[in-house]
Amino acid sequence: MQNRFVTGGFALYLALAGAALAKDAAPPAVPVSAEPAAARDMPVYVRGIGTVQAYNAVSIKSRVDGQIVKVDFTEGQELKAGDLLFEIDPRPYQAALVQAQAAKAKDEAQLASAMADLKRDEELVAHSFQTRQAYDQQKALVGQLQASIAGDAAQITAATLNLDYAQIRAPIDGRTGARLVDTGNLVHATDNAALVTIQQLRPIFVSLTEPQETFETIRASQARAPIPVEAMTSDNTRKLADGTVSLIDNQIDQGSGTIHLKARFANTQETLWPGEFVNLKLVVDEIKNATTVPARAVQQGPQGAYIFVVNKDMTVATRNVTVSEIENDTAVIGKGLAPGDTVVVDGQYRLDEGTRVKLQPAAAAG
Q: Name the residue among 349, 350, 348, 357 with its Cα closest to residue 310.
A: 357
155-189 burial, b at 16+ Cβ within 10 Å, e below that, comes to bbeebeebbebbebbbebbbbbbebebeeeeebee
- The pLDDT-based confidence of 122 (bands split at 50, 70, 90) is confident
At 164 the three-state DSSP class reads: helix
Backbone angles phi, psi at 345, to 5 degrees: -110, -20
Which CATH code for domain 90-165? Answer: 1.10.287
Out of 5-9, 51-55, 183-187, 245-249, pick the least confident: 5-9
Backbone angles phi, psi at 262, to 5 degrees: -130, 140
**Domain ranges in the chain?**
30-43+289-365, 46-55+198-285, 90-165
Q: What are the pLDDT digits (tens) for 264-282?
A: 999 999 999 999 999 999 9
Angle at 58 (CA atoms; ends 52, 62), nearest 5 degrees: 160
N- to C-terminal Cα separation, the chain: 58
Q: How far apart are CA 103 and CA 11, in angstroms?
A: 136
Angle at 217 (CA atoms; ends 215, 222), nearest 5 degrees: 95
Query: For position 2, what pLDDT does the model report?
Result: 47
The top-level CATH class assigned to 30-43+289-365 is mainly beta
Segment holding 306, helix H or strand E: strand 304-310
Q: How far apart are CA 320 and CA 306, in angstroms?
A: 4
Residue by residue, DSSP assigns 182-198 as -TT-EE-TT--S-SEEE
Higher pLDDT, 307 or 120: 307
CATH 2.40.30.170 fits 46-55+198-285, yes or no: yes
Q: How far apart are CA 327 and CA 44, in angstroms?
A: 9
Q: What are the pLDDT digits (tens) for 134-145?
A: 777 878 988 999
Query: For position 362, what pLDDT does the model report?
Result: 62
Angle between helical axes of 91-126 and 132-165 (0-180°, round to 10): 160
- pLDDT over threshold 80, residue 6: no
Q: What is the mean pLDDT of residues 204-215?
A: 96
